Amino acid sequence: MEEKPFYIAKLINKLLHDELSASELAELNNLLDEETRLRILNVYKNDVTVQKQLDYITQLEKTKGQAWRKIVEKRQKRTHKKGGNKWYSFVAAVICCCVIGTWTWWYMNTYTTDHDIIADKRYGYKNDVLPGTNRAELVLSDGKKIALDSGKIAYTEKNGVQVHGNQGAIVYSGQQHSPAKEERLYNILRVPKAGTYQVNLPDGSKVWLNAMSELRFPVNGTERDVYLVGEAYFEIAPNQQNPFKVYINETEIQVLGTNFNVNAYRKESSSTSLVSGKIRLSTGHHQQILVPGEMGITTQEGIVLKKANLEKALAWKAGNFYFQHDRIVDVLNDMSLWYDIDVVYEGSMPENKFGGTIPRSFTLAQALQILKDVSGLTFEIDKKILRVKG
């Protein structure tokens, strides 16, 4: 293989030019650590500065090839002279060091910048923050980690199940049933702050994960047990012989075929809103059956049923923030997950309850302008820190 740093740089170059093959993408994933992959795969491909740097790397490839040919020709002429091997090694080392240094400079300047932070040219903030996008990490049964965005991926699990990804979703297909004694294989889909992702499970069920959420699910066997942290919307494929079960802390949700949303960000409680079908909530010695339009709130004390606000519960999946009788602290806590920001409060916050809808496609500054008009608060953005002054 070529010198590793230069080879990595060349693969990155091909990746950002959409010229990377599936095998080369798999190799690049193996060569780079998780954090580096996330930075590279989420960079803006249409950035003018990045394009100039890519063109420079491409030119380096040509220059390296020409220089190498000259070295080989020169060495062939000097093989009879004493010290020829030393000269050959010296020049090769110089070129390699130049390439490594250039690649390091290019990488550090390109990928250590937080590309979610942009200039604010309209509202007078120090900067603006872009909204979240399709991003996640998939952990295969062997522990291999795959960075996901809106690009294409293709992998095969140990049991032959195919995993394909594109446009913010991964799809499992192929062998699902396996011998009873075969080891259960699980995958984990992790969605960070400022992210969202969809997974089509091997049984045909579909799950959408909100920001800062995680789903652990089997890729073989007949049991349909998944484990959730955070928030997700489920569309469950009917199968009366094998009920679908969702586990959240100490709560179990059992379904036969239905659509519902689960919010389990808090360890001490979770809420389940049923859109269609029927589900059974269980925690400790408590059980409740939910019908469409109901929400079950589960705590250590038991389960409370109430009428669900489905528009609010499903707003995130529809691409909106939806607030109704919410405190400003709750509103900003919700937004902080989508914009991956830290919120700092200065002074007393109003106890007023707010309501309204804000598109999640808005930048942070755009969203704050709406809140500023209704709350009377002052907001300051400093990179990924939002200061709220009462």
> What CA dihedral angle connects 167, 172, 174 and 179, to 10 degrees?
170
User: Are the CB atoms for 231 and 262 separated by under 8 Å?
Assistant: yes
Backbone phi and psi for residue 310, each to the nearest 5 degrees, phi listed first: -65, -30
What are the residue ranges of CATH 2.60.120.1440 in the chain?
131-313
Q: What is the pLDDT of residue 81?
A: 47
Q: What is the pLDDT of residue 112?
A: 37
What are the residue ranges of CATH 3.55.50.30 in the chain?
319-389
Q: What is the pLDDT of residue 14?
A: 67
The two structure tokens encoding residue 359: 């598109």
Q: What is the pLDDT of residue 78?
A: 47
The two structure tokens encoding residue 182: 């075969």
Quickly name the fold that domain 131-313 has: Jelly Rolls (2.60.120)
Total residue length of the chain: 390
Q: What is the pLDDT of residue 124?
A: 94
The CATH class for the domain spanning 319-389 reads alpha beta
Across the chain, which has 390 residues, the per-10-residue mean pLDDT values are 61 66 69 54 42 47 46 46 42 38 40 74 94 96 92 88 92 72 89 97 96 96 94 95 93 92 94 96 93 95 96 97 93 96 93 92 96 92 95
Q: What is the pLDDT of residue 143?
A: 95
Q: What is the pLDDT of residue 93?
A: 38
**Which residues, 6+ apart, have CB-to-CB distance to 372 below 8 Å?**
378, 379
The two structure tokens encoding residue 385: 């820190």
